[in-house]
Amino acid sequence: MIVSEPFARRRSAGVGATLLLRTASGPRPFRIAGIYYDYASDQGLVMMSHQAYIAAFRDPGLTGFSLTLSPETDADAVERALRAELSRTTEGLTIVSNRALKKVSLAIFDRTFLITSVLRLLAGLVAGDRRAPRPSSPSSSNAGRGVRRPAGERPHPRPGLEAGDRGDRASGPHRRLLSLPVGMALAAVMIFVVNRRSFGWTVEMETAPAVLVEAVLLALGAALLAGIYPAYRTARTSPARALREE
């Protein structure tokens, strides 16, 4: 037989181990031939061939079966025909297409990991707030503007450069590069520690270069957005006030 990953972890059973199951003729040992990924049950599942199941448990009944259709077959038409034919003779039969089952499964996963999206949003807001310099605090930039403006500099020379300078200081290249291994380490902890302890199953960890580049660009964009308002306030600060603050 083969067992699911949660089943194997909760019972510390690996490939080649023997497991006793209560059959129709009493306890009988079964050898575990393999372990498969399964996310349907956190307690685990056991699978064996239909012939082995009937021989051991003497239960010819079926609780479910699947139909594999050819690519050119209309799945919706087959489902409607089955409902019309079996509704007259079978009670309590549930027919679910693979497409509908996948849609429901993805919806459940989205609801399950909705808290992750909320935490990611909160982390972004906190990071942006921490990166944004406080416009009310004294700074060398204010002092520099306070000295340069009486000398003839325009009040708004290049506010974009000011915002970019603040964004680069808030999220320097070393910080952005350091965030990649730290983020991957946290992902590994979630996959191989938290998920295993909470649910008993793991998912394959994949590192897509596009996702890493997107993370760096997202961090840079957040830093630039965090510097826009302080740069705007700094550009509007009067020279006399900047000198008094210093």
Q: pLDDT for 62-74, tens place per residue?
A: 888 888 999 888 8
Supply the mean pLDDT for the chain: 76
Tell whether the model's pLDDT for residue 141 goes beyond 70.
no
Share of the chain above pLDDT 70, in %: 74
Give 163: exposed, middle or buried? Use CB within 10 Å, 0-12, 13-18, 19+: buried
Residues 6+ apart with CB under 8 A from 184: 207
Of the candidates 58, 8, 73, 62, the residue with the CA atom closest to the CA atom of residue 28: 58
Higher pLDDT, 209 or 117: 209
Global confidence as pTM: 0.52
Domain boundaries, the chain: 2-61, 64-112, 132-245
Higher pLDDT, 176 or 55: 55
8 A C-beta contact, residue 141 and residue 169: no
pLDDT band at 157 (very low <50, low <70, confident <90, very high): very low
Question: Distance (Å, rounded) from C-alpha 206 to C-alpha 204?
Answer: 6
- 3-class DSSP state for residue 24? coil
